[in-house]
Amino acid sequence: MMRTRPLKVALLGCGVVGSEVARIMTTHAADLAARIGAPVELAGVAVRRPDKVREGIDPALVTTDATALVKRGDIDAVVEVIGGIEPARTLITTAFAHGASVVSANKALIAQDGAALHAAADEHGRDLYYEAAVAGAIPLIRPLRESLAGDKVNRVLGIVNGTTNFILDAMDTTGAGYQEALDEATALGYAEADPTADVEGFDAAAKAAILAGIAFHTRVRLDDVHREGMTEVTAADFASARRMGCTIKLLAICERAADGASVTARVHPAMIPLSHPLANVREAYNAVFVESEAAGQLMFYGPGAGGSPTASAVLGDLVAVCRNRLGGATGPGESAYAALPVSPMGEVVTRYHISLDVADKPGVLAQVATVFAEHGVSIDTVRQSGKDGEASLVVVTHRASDAALGGTVEALRKLDTVRGVASIMRVEGE
């Protein structure tokens, strides 16, 4: 039997995502009530600009006092889509203290303070759900946290930022340079006026921290994630990738060490074989590849941003926390029992593609090969071309640690025959 008294929802933020959440709550009210077992009612909307016209939202629900809204005491669930660290953090903990569960899309806050927020939720017997914080509409957090709870996840490899994927895909398919591709992404609305958070990897790093923590049952903070942006990727890098049968993607990579004693989390551009499923993820789409012991290889694919896709994930969480509220229960909280150390980037082992500008004369290749050997880095393939006294030397290594490769490159720069290091890129997905 359906309960007639509605569950009350407070909405913090009414921008692109928040307005879509409100719209779906209204237009799909009957379906949501049937799925939950009780009606859901939008009880208040906290905004910064109350005079802005918001289609479909009763102006009487709009307030600038978010704190008073979450303190009301009759709110069953709070949806936080304002972003940033403060006041979001204080509002969420205040909501817990006053009896509300929380659904958030705030990747930066969850990555930085997820442990403290989970502790606050547990203290007050409330839920904290954040499917929308990673990869938009793609169901990913719940499968990792619940569907694979009986399995052992060893690796999560993914494209988790639509802006960077659009730019790199344009560079690959049209031959555009970085700035040209960025300008196109901005014109189409895929990139912000200030794209730093996307192109420098900050957005993806926050998502990597969240994914690693859930996958490996270990607290992984944003500061634990190695981050490199993709602004230095060039058309020449794509040409080299094509010669190797690869393309280039900005990847979030979370791995369990081979001995199982530690984990790593990193974000950086990488070459991946065209045969890998992630190589065919186009435009602004996201995709995440999960490798586990029992389930094997799984791939999650879909739109990773935008009002409707993100709102879909928010509403999925809202249904879950409202069901829990009716049942007097809470869903899964933080699982950090493994408490594995997070290894520094220097210990990460992978393949590398190094492009060198060298003098075009006998003995150069032997000198370069000797440097690699002295640092314990094994060479897989070498390609050399040049004329008029200048040459390009491309070296692809077998798997080596980041620290060993760093020492190798430092030594190469000291050779008289090496004019410069044109690019260094990791090779993943093999």
Q: Which residues belong to the active site? A: 207
Tokens of 128: 């904290």
Residues linked to residue 420 through DSSP beta bridges, in sequence order: 357
Taking CB atoms within 8 Å and a gap of at least 24, the contacts of 68-72 are 69/10, 69/12, 69/44, 70/10, 70/12, 70/94, 70/95, 70/98, 70/100, 71/98, 72/10, 72/43, 72/44, 72/98
Separation CA 274–CA 29 (nearest Å): 44
Give CA separation, 105 vs 108, 170, 248, 287, 291, in Å. 9, 28, 28, 18, 25
- Closest by CA to 401, choosing from 345, 355, 356, 353, is 345
What distance in Å separates the CA atoms of residue 63 and residue 58, rounded to the nearest whole number? 11
DSSP string computed for 301-328: EEE-SSHHHHHHHHHHHHHHHHHHHHHT
Q: Count Cβ atoms below 10 Å from residue 193 Cβ, excluding itself.
A: 5
